[in-house]
Amino acid sequence: MDSKTDELIRRNTEEIVTEEEFSEVLKKKNPTVYCGYEPNGPMHLGHFVTITKLMDLQKAGFKVKILLADVHALLNRKGSEEDIAKEVERWRKTIKAIGCEAEVVLGSSFQFAKEYQLDVMRLAQASTINRGLRSMQEIARDIENATISQLMYPLMQVVDIKALKVDVALGGIEQRKVHMIGKDLAKILDYKFVAFHTPLITSLKGPGEKMSKSIPGSGISVTDSYEEIQKTIRNAYCPERVKAENPVLQIARLIIFPRFEKIKIERPEKFGGNLEIKNADELEEMYGEGKIHPLDLKNAVTEHLEKIVGPIREQYNSIK
């Protein structure tokens, strides 16, 4: 593998579990990676991190599968069957509009099979309730009042990996505890996989929470208008010279730079004139040195986000 492909595979990755196993996966002709999403409400920028990583891996020669986890959404109390079915169709069109050439699989198309359910039961016998709860802390809705259905969720997620016959399970770092159940109990399922984890984008309201569209001002979805994107970014947490946990810089690194060779920052000559930034490292270094003002950064991120989100929003809004 050449260094450029290796960099493409590894960029914007929090961890690979394990590196040794991943080395073996790379020896395969067409390794397969999957990521699952609950079709609940419009896709938001948090989802774009893993979608972008899937596209990186696809360019590197991986076959991509996307699981639209309708049964998981039902178990996690994300809506009625009818509501979730409508969201599935919206998500299919959104994925197509993004340009991710993936095999889209619906969870309900295979999760009621006898062997699948027996695998879930085998895992349930070997998993403690406490571990199940811990694995869902960053995923479940209203975890303080978790239902038994939500404890089934992580076990099904592990069995999905086997049922989809994938080599790599991709998810945000909040999925780590779920994936580790699958890694630790691999002998029970007689199936091994590599866990690939991406960073999370900090809430646009500031550190302490991950981005969430359910919290006003925290995130941006594909249905947001240009004016809404502009307003949300304008109000986002982005202290001058602060690089750590800066969601505007994170959006640039994780979502914008993978799609653009450079970012143009427009500003009046009296403030230094326009800039062309070639990568996230350069942007963060200049921002940390105070060479880029927060408002100039926000304006640039807004304009580039609109170029990404605009066509997707148009597709989404065309769905009746």
pLDDT at residue number 314: 82
By C-alpha distance, which of 6, 98, 9, 107 is closest to 48? 98
CB 56 within 8 A of CB 258: yes
By C-alpha distance, which of 163, 157, 194, 156 is closest to 175? 157
CB 275 within 8 A of CB 289: no
DSSP 8-state class, residue 269: G
Model pTM?
0.91
pLDDT at residue number 313: 86
pLDDT at residue number 65: 98
Q: Which domains does the chain have, with CATH numbers?
A: 3-198 (3.40.50.620), 226-317 (1.10.240.10)
- Chunked into runs of 10 residues, the chain (320 residues) has average pLDDT values of 90 96 94 95 90 96 97 88 92 88 96 97 89 69 70 91 98 92 93 96 89 79 93 96 96 95 91 92 96 96 95 73
Integer angstrom CA distances of residue 179 from 6, 135, 155: 23, 9, 10
pLDDT at residue number 148: 80
Q: What are phi and psi of 170, to 5 degrees?
A: -105, 140
pLDDT at residue number 143: 60
pLDDT at residue number 244: 94
Give me the numbers of helices (H) and strands (E) for the chain, helices first please: 14, 8
pLDDT at residue number 103: 97
3-class SS of residue 215: coil
